[in-house]
Amino acid sequence: MIPIKNNPLDQSFYIQSDVIHIARSLLGKILVTNINGKRTSGRIVETEAYRGFDDKACHAYGNKKTERTKTMFLEGGRSYVYLCYGIHHLFNVVTGPKDQADAVLIRAIEPIEGIDIMLQRRNFSKIKTNLTAGPGTLTKALGIDRKLHNSISLNPNQDIWIEDDGTILNQKIILESRRVGVDYAEECALWNWRFRVKNSKWTSKGKGKGE
């Protein structure tokens, strides 16, 4: 049997206009980094959608373009990496056509390649599920840094990209729930735009509301 080659997702995937559909579709795909020759990867098991036009939880709410959010207005297929709580680098995939300020936050992955490298970056001595569960921890494990990796194009010629290995997820195993940490977003806080693979032990706990 011929093994399926992993295909990097191309521009046509990212420029689809429905960010919610993309957030669901990214589950099961493989997030890869290759930084200073160190390749690490993991299967995406948790995402959240953010929409610039009408989503009060989105940094670009009301299509407000600032120095920070201008990345989200670029054409889909780039990274949006920002510093959260002064400590954590959070990785998002910019989606949609140019000037549609949408993004998908990657919240958890199941480690695949370069686990030893991830353990070093996290100062772990052995693998635990919280190695990559949570948007701040997975970026640390993968070596993603907002100073180096914000606004870069997601393709294998750069440090970060996403691959499809042919895995097809049954839509019935996707859990939908409220997003984490966005209680301030009024009615938008109730939208079920957090997506998780059911029964995966690699998803985040998601402190606060949202369960």
Partner DNA sequence: CGAATGATCGGCT
Partner DNA sequence: GCCGATCATTCGA
Query: Residue 160 in contact with residue 32, Cβ under 8 Å?
Result: yes
Q: Does 207 bind DNA (CB under 7 A)?
A: yes
Task: Name 189's Cβ contacts closer than 8 Å, sequence gap at least 6.
Answer: 56, 57, 178, 179, 182, 183, 209
Query: Residue 207 in contact with residue 138, Cβ under 8 Å?
Result: no
Where are any strands of DSSP class E within the chain? 7-8, 30-35, 38-51, 79-84, 88-95, 102-113, 160-164, 174-177, 194-197
Question: Which of 14, 50, 161, 202 is in the footprint of DNA by CB under 7 A?
Answer: 50
Q: Does 84 bind DNA (CB under 7 A)?
A: yes
Cite the DSSP H helix spans in 52-200.
115-122, 135-142, 146-149
Q: Does 204 bind DNA (CB under 7 A)?
A: yes
Comparison of 8 and 136: residue with beta carbon closer to DNA: 136
Q: Does 69 bind DNA (CB under 7 A)?
A: yes
Q: How far is the CB of 168 from DNA (least distance, A)?
A: 26
**DSSP state, residue 39:** E
Q: Does 48 bind DNA (CB under 7 A)?
A: yes
Nearest Cα to 53, choosing from 24, 20, 78? 20
Q: Does 83 bind DNA (CB under 7 A)?
A: yes
Q: Residue 184 corresponds to which tokens in the numbers above?
A: 């301030």
Q: How far is the CB of 151 from DNA (least distance, A)?
A: 11
Q: How far is the CB of 37 from DNA (least distance, A)?
A: 25
Q: Does 44 bind DNA (CB under 7 A)?
A: no
Q: Is 30 helix (H, G, I), strand (E, B) or coil?
A: strand
What would the x/- binding string for DNA be over residues 113 to 132, using CB under 7 A? ---------x-------x--
Comparison of 18 and 165: residue with beta carbon closer to DNA: 18
Determine the interface stretch with DNA among 7-15, 87-95, 168-176, 186-194 (rule: CB under 7 A). 87-95
Q: Does 136 bind DNA (CB under 7 A)?
A: yes
What are the distances in angstroms from CA 90 to CA 4, 5, 49, 53, 81?
Answer: 31, 29, 13, 21, 5
Q: Does 182 bind DNA (CB under 7 A)?
A: yes
The site for DNA (CB under 7 A) is made up of: 48, 50, 57-60, 64, 66-69, 80, 82-88, 90, 92, 103, 105, 122, 130, 133-137, 179-182, 184, 204, 207-208
